[in-house]
Amino acid sequence: MQIPPKLWFQLERLKKAFRSAVGEPSPSYDTSHRMCPNCRALIERGASVCPFCGEKLRAPRSRSSSSAGSDRILGIIPIPSTATSALVAVTIALYGISWYMTAASGAGQLNPASALGGINGDVLFRLGAKTPAIFFGQWWRLVTAIFLHANLMHIGFNLWCLFDLGPTVESLFSAAKFLVFYLVAGVAGFLLSLWWNPGGMSVGASGAILGLIGVLIGASFHHGHLGREYRSQLVRWVIYIFIFGLFFAVDNAAHLGGLASGALLGYLVPEGDAETRAGQNLWNALALLSVATIVASFALMALQLR
């Protein structure tokens, strides 16, 4: 029995994401075909018109003949795609600013941990950490806190996970959906954290990153046996993270909120680009709204910083 082209394509994408997540090398697939963006059938790569639906197609992008392993930094760290790169850049920039402010305030002389990249709590508060100030109108802290980190180990672990998970989620869904998922999961995580511990201060991208894991878990329910295998790997990862959080000062409430919201999004939102023009416009608008929300949150943070 022949597998429908759309289902075959989705299974191949999920298998590629699974191998990337567990560190297995990706096999070389036949690149003589591509998917029609309208009906999602497999067609000849050089076709200008889809023979199944008649959709006019743009010329395909040329493929580089890069050697194996060239898609990873030092052969280990996956090179992130565009949306992931932007989030990584903003996160690193905010960490640099927070470290400079910590050193400038004199905390580096009083707190030896800052010499190893530790950030002063007052600096994190000023730059937009999740705090009870949210109850007094500073809603933007739910967003800015996603991009702040307390020390080098904190940001290092989160960026490692983002480098690995970000491109996987983008390839399965799209850059627009990825941006929406990341922001929604991060905010949902801090909302649950605010309800669980209203008086505490929290920062970090781990809630949003757990949201990306949740997205992959949610999507795995649509892929039968292969999805179960992939899901078991992700669930073990989540268990390890929560066990780690029981022994260290980790905001497990933010982790749970991000994971739950991500799983719901991954289960409900179809994979790949939207199949209709209206759907594409909707997700592009949601992505632009997400970017505007992030920019506005940083602007409001800068205003209160002055």
Looking at the annotation, which residues are catalytic?
A: 206, 255
Helix (H), strand (E) at residue 78: strand 77-78
List, as one string, the DSSP characters of 213-259. Answer: HHHHHHHHTTSHHHHHHHHHHHHHHHHHHHHHHHHTT--HHHHHHHH
Q: Are 84 and 163 in contact (CB under 8 A)?
A: yes
Q: Which of 19, 18, 79 is nearest to 217 (CA)?
A: 18
Q: Which of 280, 277, 300, 276 is nearest to 288 (CA)?
A: 280
Q: What's the first-to-final CA gap in the chain, in angstroms?
A: 67
Task: Report the greatest alpha carbon distance in the chain.
Answer: 71
- What is the DSSP code (8-state) at residue 35? E
